[in-house]
Amino acid sequence: MVLKVFLAATLRKYVPGYDSGKGHEVEVEPGETAGDVAARLHIPQDEVRLIMIDGIGSNWDAALDEAERLAFFPPVGGG
C-alpha cells in the first residue's frame, strides 16, 4: 500500500529531496503504524509534537491504510 507522508518545518531534513507540495510516498504493510513510518524515515519521535492522519490528530500506535495521508509536525517556538 502506498501512503502519502507530509513533513512540516524542521522535520523535512530527514527526507532528502522532500517536496513540500507533493509530500513523500511510502510503501506500508497492513498493520504498520505512524511510529513505524517515522522510524523508517529516521524521524526521532521526540522531535514530533503532532501526528495527523487525514487531518485528524492521532498517535504513534495508529494503524495506517493506503488511502490515508500522514503528517508529522514539530513543536513550534516563538517569541
pLDDT digits (tens, 9 = 90+) for 13-68: 999 999 999 999 999 998 899 999 999 999 999 999 999 999 999 999 999 976 68
pTM here is 0.90
Give the SS3 label for residue 64. coil
Give how many domains the chain has, as a whole number. 1
Residues in the chain: 79
Helix ranges, the chain (H): 34-40
Give the pLDDT confidence score for residue 76 in this predicted structure.
Answer: 80
Task: Domain of residue 37: give its range.
Answer: 2-73
* Least confident interval from 7-11, 41-45, 67-71: 67-71
CATH of the domain at 46: 3.10.20.30
46 assigned to some structural domain: yes
CA distance 78 to 58: 24
Would residue 63 count as lying in a domain?
yes
